[in-house]
A = this chain, B = another copy of it.
């Protein structure tokens, strides 16, 4: 922990997390292991590691669902880390939030009701609220500790939580969707990285989430979309190809976009945008 206070934060690998989770250590001990000290160098992705210099640790607790860390970095502002993976830095978060929010919203002819699954840091909410057509934003975030932390340490991202158009639910997105089918024009999934499963299996391939979202997309409007984030064309090409092929069996429109987010793995992030009708999503 001394190293984290004075030194560097390095992302952990899903394999490391799995080892920690299955090692039978107490929660307290496991939590300590998650306090990356810049020496493990496991990296969140095999063979590579990204590190940020720590100026000051602002918050570090274990919620019911995950390890929540916020630190002030020397050059990227405040940084939110969940289960050892960088989620957002104040310096480059806009690149991710703008893409995930505006690609589906600008492609929809009249988005009025938007659902955000996850997104507890508030970044997607902030961008969605910039669209005047939007009448109601529903957010379903499972971990209220993330919302509390964002309100306290990431004010530029969490500025939308007091907005009158927001309906905020704390709970499981899957369960929420079961009771709220066909209510939304645009669904944006901005959940944190799922826990790793079997070794070698990509932890981002969450078909349960995808099929739930598909079933729940609104039928009454000509266009319904969902967008998922959190993978890089440099590291996850087989997964992306699989996701695109999977969705093309269901949606008339499936597009993949990417943007540079310098603190994400390989400096890039991908966005999958699907629609229930044939529309121009990513064209000029």
Interface residues of A (CB under 8 A from B): 7-8, 10, 38-39, 41, 43, 46-53, 73-76, 92, 232-235, 258, 260, 262-264, 266-268
Give Cα A267 to B39, complex, Å. Answer: 22
22 pairs of residues in contact across A and B, judged by CB atoms under 8 Å:
A7-B41, A8-B49, A10-B51, A43-B51, A43-B53, A46-B53, A47-B52, A47-B53, A47-B74, A47-B75, A47-B76, A48-B51, A48-B75, A48-B76, A49-B51, A50-B50, A92-B234, A232-B262, A234-B267, A235-B262, A260-B260, A266-B267
Q: Which residues of B contact A260 (CB under 8 A)?
A: 233-234, 258, 260, 266-268
Shortest Cβ gap from A54 to chain B (Å) = 9
Shortest Cβ gap from A46 to chain B (Å) = 5
Closest to A74 in B: B47
Interface-centre pick from A46, A48, A76 (highest chain B CB count, 10 A): A48
From B39, B48, B73, B232, contact of A50 by CB (8 A)? B48
Give Cα A98 to B55, complex, Å. Answer: 38
Give Cα A8 to B263, complex, Å. Answer: 19
Interface-centre pick from A53, A76, A235, A267 (highest chain B CB count, 10 A): A267
B92 contacts A73, C-beta separation under 8 Å: no
B38 contacts A41, C-beta separation under 8 Å: yes
Closest to A41 in B: B8
Q: Which residues of B contact A46 (CB under 8 A)?
A: 53, 74-75
Q: Which residues of B contact A267 (CB under 8 A)?
A: 234, 260, 262, 264, 266-268
